[in-house]
Amino acid sequence: MMAIELITEEIPPLTHLDTGEKALIWMEEFKVSHLPVLKNGNFVGVLSENDVLDKMDERQTLDVLFDHLPRPFVWETDHIYEVIAKVGEFKISVVPILDRNEKYLGCTSIHRLIQLISNTGGIKEQGGIIVLEMNKVDYSLAQISQIVEGNNAKILSSYVLSLPDSTKIEVTLKINEIDLERILRTFARYDYTVKASYHKSEFEDDLRNRFDALMNFMNL
């Protein structure tokens, strides 16, 4: 999925003539802590709630309050992974999206990204989860897939997490089978370390409750 497909029409940009007070009202209304700022239709940068709160007079316009704003953005053709990486790098709740001429096209929000991930990452699909731990040099998705598919199952999604201060990684697999016993035995036979496993009946309610709690926390 490309960035252009992630644009939400629900979050408008500010202009350089808007006040800090207006920016705070909009951030509250749209449940974000950042907003894009435009000047004469051109992308200026991203304003944060903390930036505004640090100013003495929120009634001043943004061009008076700020000489410079950070300019994190993604290109319209960037993959959703690039968008997520930008969120993590700059700790922003909205990501501006530009075309190759740096024309502002719109923005996406962390709320929308989470909703898309929940729909496309296999969370809603029936199945179970296996978490493997291994050395980075031993990681082979081809071999892991062969083991899973050799037991007449499919990997719906996978996620690799590097463990801090370690040469090891965690590989989380979402598999389209409720009964994981045969797959777990096969991983053990091939000397894989199974750090955790969750059958659908065991984790589905907890996963859904956690996701719903996150959505409520973000006031969706």
- DSSP for 45-82 reads EEEEHHHHHTSS-TTSBHHHH-S------EETT-BHHH
Whole-number pLDDT of residue 118: 72
**Mutual angle of helices 200-217 and 110-120, in 10-degree steps:** 170
CA dist 74 and 70 (Å) reads 13
Whole-number pLDDT of residue 19: 96
Distances in Å between the alpha carbon of 132 and those of 162, 183, 195, 197? 12, 12, 5, 9
Q: What is the DSSP letter of 87?
A: H
Whole-number pLDDT of residue 201: 47
**Helix boundaries (H) for 6-164:** 20-30, 49-53, 62-65, 80-90, 110-120, 141-149
Give residue 119's identity as a one-letter amino acid code.
N
Whole-number pLDDT of residue 219: 55
Residues of the chain with pLDDT below 50 are: 201, 203, 220
Whole-number pLDDT of residue 207: 56
For the chain, list the domains and their CATH numbers.
3-117 (3.10.580.10), 122-216 (3.30.70.260)
